[in-house]
A and B are shown apart, each in its own frame.
Chain A
Amino acid sequence: MGEEQTLLAELRAGSEAAFARLLREHGGRMLAVARRLVRDEEDARDAVQEAFVSAFRSLDRFEGGSRLATWLHRIVVNCCLMRLRSRQRRPEEPIEDLLPKFLEDGHQTPPSLAWSDPVEDLIHRREIRALVRASIDRLPESYRAVLILRDIEELSTGDAASLLGVTENALKIRLHRARQALRTLLDPHLRGAAA
């Protein structure tokens, strides 16, 4: 029996030590996921607590087709999305201002300029990583959520669409606009000659 199967058997038998082990092994990563999605420390901790309690209660439904970590990740993401939905809704900022503009003949205006720095250099710069995180936070909420689920949490299109209650095609288009908007926010900092 593999290590994960042993842990699963102990969890199903109700072992407190096994629950503590699961929390210590996976809880940190799940808290990081929740912090990214809900952006509020108290809400993130509440979402993690709710997710683990919910997972413990539904262990019988875990079929072992995926890894425990993948299953937990999905439950945490779902708890976070429910929290985001239940927050008092303000009208979302329109995203159109952050999308590319075109002339009547279809040419982009203004034309795009190259980002000359290699991406391998950019990702090693702390201030660039902070800029990217801050820019993601500036996206309208429904676009921010899609970008985090697909490009950061790396959920499949099908899983992300199902969690958000949209079609796969709608999700792909929303993700594209989120990426375009993020690109627009990063552009003034990254275009031009290599630093």
Chain B
Amino acid sequence: MSEKKPYIPCSEVLEFLWAYVAGELPPERAHEFDRHLAVCPSCVAYLDSYRKTVELSRESFQPAEEELPEELIQAVLAARRKG
């Protein structure tokens, strides 16, 4: 007999997407997410754009390396000397 279990709603998928993405859902629950994603193009698009958002955040501030201005170096050293 085939299983006719209802799909979880989009609202539940998007509310707990962080746990799905982080692999923190219990296997049965992750399976329910997979079932929903197999039939819902909107949530598939959301998941992809969510992952892209995280990656874009990480990359948008690179490169972060720069030099500390000399006057700030001297100010910190002077502040340390003062105790």
Given A16-B77, A132-B57, A136-B57, does the pair A122, B52 have CB atoms closer than 8 Å? yes
Q: Within 8 Å CB of A152, what residues of B?
A: 57-58, 61
Q: Within 8 Å CB of A107, what residues of B?
A: 9-11, 42
A53 near B76 (CB under 8 angstroms)? Answer: yes
- Pairs A–B under 8 Å by Cβ, sample size 27: A20-B73, A23-B76, A32-B65, A45-B69, A48-B68, A48-B72, A49-B75, A52-B76, A53-B80, A100-B46, A102-B11, A106-B11, A108-B11, A108-B46, A111-B41, A112-B45, A114-B49, A119-B56, A123-B56, A128-B60, A132-B56, A133-B60, A151-B54, A176-B18, A179-B54, A190-B52, A191-B49
Interface residues of B in 15-36 (CB under 8 A from A): 17-19, 22
Q: Does A79 contact B (CB under 8 A)?
A: no
List the interface of chain B (C-beta within 8 A of A). 9-12, 14, 17-19, 22, 41-46, 48-61, 64-69, 72-73, 75-77, 79-80
Q: Does A75 contact B (CB under 8 A)?
A: no
Interface range, A side:
35 or more
Q: Within 8 Å CB of A78, what residues of B?
A: none
CB distance from A149 to the nearest CB of B (A): 11
Binary CB contact string for chain A from 90 to 122 against chain B (1 if under 8 A, 0 otherwise):
000000000010100111100111110001001
In the assembly, what is the distance between CA of A107 and CA of B56, in Å? 27
Q: Does A83 contact B (CB under 8 A)?
A: no
A112 touches which one: B12, B49, B77 (CB < 8 A)?
B49
Closest A-chain residue to B19, C-beta based?
Answer: A172
Given A31-B72, A49-B72, A151-B58, does the pair A114, B48 have CB atoms closer than 8 Å? yes
B45 near A29 (CB under 8 angstroms)? Answer: no
Select the stretch in A61-69, A159-167, A180-188 that faces chain B: A180-188
A128 near B56 (CB under 8 angstroms)? Answer: yes
A183 near B50 (CB under 8 angstroms)? Answer: yes
Q: Within 8 Å CB of B58, what residues of A?
A: 151-152, 154
In the assembly, what is the distance between CA of A8 and CA of B77, in Å? 16
